[in-house]
Amino acid sequence: MTIDVAPVVPQAEVAPVAQLEPQMISYESHRKLLDEKKKVQGELSILLADKKARDESEAVRRGDFESLLKSRDEELAKERGERQQLQNRITTGLKMNAVIDSLGGNIDPKWYQLIDTSEVVQSETGEIDPMTVARVSETLKRQWPEMVKTASKLPTAAPQGLIAGGTKIAESEWSKLSGKLQSSYGLNDIVWGY
């Protein structure tokens, strides 16, 4: 009695899950998609405005002025909320600019989140109180002295008195040398135009 052994067939390697990489699209395709998006948004806003007008006319026809008043109050509240958010952003920006200017004006943007503008007072006329700005800036200078460090007036690199560390010569100096010394310099050793 013989035992038949089935041949071992290697299994195909399982391909790794493909990583989704962002694909680049052409500028024309991008512009086309943006134009289509704007067109669809315009159509949607027209449809929503028509629906709103129909709902209002139907409510007036039915005599349902309460729902009409309620919908207009909701719209008004939404608009007021958006306006208040915009006003808050403008006020915060004015306060932030005043504090940054009082700190010298050259603050790295990474420090902006540490500036607390809630202590800066704004008058009814919209003017920023300079005393509260000074108080906030002094507090920031005490708490975060590295925020207002001024950049060094010195250059970051060492002075370059010799061109390329002394291995090269300016054309004006090379032309003053004798012929024998001129021939000791290769074309790559001369800085042309200097």
Q: Phi and psi for 187 in degrees, rounded to 5?
A: -65, -30
pLDDT higher than 90, residue 70: no
The predicted pLDDT at position 32 comes to 93
Q: Which has the closest alpha carbon to 98: 29, 90, 160, 11?
A: 90
The predicted pLDDT at position 4 comes to 60
Strand-pair partners of 122: 128
Query: What gap in Å lies between CA 46 and CA 12, rounded to an integer?
Result: 57
Burial of 185 (0-12, 13-18, 19+ CB in 10 A): middle
Going from N- to C-terminal start, the domains of the chain cover 29-63, 79-148, 165-194
- What band does 79 get if pLDDT is binned at 50, 70 and 90? very high
- What band does 104 get if pLDDT is binned at 50, 70 and 90? confident
pTM: 0.49
pLDDT higher than 90, residue 40: yes
